[in-house]
Amino acid sequence: MMPDITTTILLLFFGFGSGLFVGTAAGTAASFLIPGLTIVIGYSTHEAIGTSLAVDCIIGIVAGYTFIKNKYVNLKSAFLLVIAGIIGALIGSTFTAQAPEGSLNIAIGCFLLFIGYNFVRKGIKKNVDRVEKKIDFSFFRKHHLFSLLLLGGIIGGLSGFIGIGGSRMLSLILIFIMGYSLHQAVGTSLVMMIFIAGSGAINHGFQGEIVVPALLILGISAASGAYLGSHMANKINEERLARIVGIIIFILGSIIILKNFF
């Protein structure tokens, strides 16, 4: 059954906002969609998660293609991260029962607040230079293949273990540890998200936990938002993009923290 007019308008709003948000700076639509679909519209949590993962996959395809077209994605690196991430997620998901989710999410939220604030205040170059003066990441950059498999596995494992959004953390790791440009990190994270979110969506789909009528509306509006956001991100310079990403990271960190108290 198709949603009524009010629900359709809400779905269009949530979808477009999520697509714009994620298409500009990577991350995950779940931060907005899950609260919106459960609290505002009234879907079950499982339905919201499954539908959100499917929307993430659509956003990744649309926005990821834009970054690939503009040559900001190393497909070989993305492939290695995808393989390691999926294996890590499968392993991590077998140990979820004892995950200290609340405390860890608060720690992650505070970390994102700190990173977001510094991106807004100082841009990308000053932050990267400051980190590189304090920590030597040359080993990881010299052993590129090993590092991608290791980091992809860790991010996938954390995602499977406690359900955190791996795309945001991956983009930060690619910037600070692997020395990727901001455009490259965002583009690579979006491509990885297609497969990680897609595999999760398929699993939820087999269990009947995707609301198909809602997904059709969300998918169209999210694709439109992702198209607009990714084109904006590819056209502006890195320092300005860093400040936009910083605002988004700061908002995401705030949402992650607040969700643990409400």
Q: What is the pLDDT of residue 66?
A: 93
Q: Which amino acid is at 40?
A: V
The number of beta carbons lying within 10 Å of the beta carbon of residue 63 is: 35
Q: What is the pLDDT of residue 250?
A: 85
Q: What is the pLDDT of residue 161?
A: 58
On whether the CB atoms of residues 94 and 163 are closer than 8 A, the answer is no
Q: Quote the pTM value.
A: 0.80
Tens digits of pLDDT across the chain (262 residues): 678 899 999 999 999 999 998 888 877 787 778 778 887 898 887 888 889 889 999 999 999 999 999 999 988 888 888 888 888 777 765 664 444 556 666 776 787 788 788 888 877 778 788 888 888 888 888 998 899 899 888 877 766 555 555 677 788 888 888 989 889 999 998 998 888 788 778 878 888 889 999 999 999 999 999 999 999 999 888 888 888 888 887 887 787 777 667 6
Q: How far is the C-alpha of 86 from the C-alpha of 67, rounded, in Å?
A: 22
Q: What is the pLDDT of residue 97?
A: 46
> Shortest CA distance to 225 belongs to which of 52, 50, 33, 62?
62
Q: What is the pLDDT of residue 187?
A: 92
Q: How far is the C-alpha of 28 from the C-alpha of 248, rounded, in Å?
A: 11
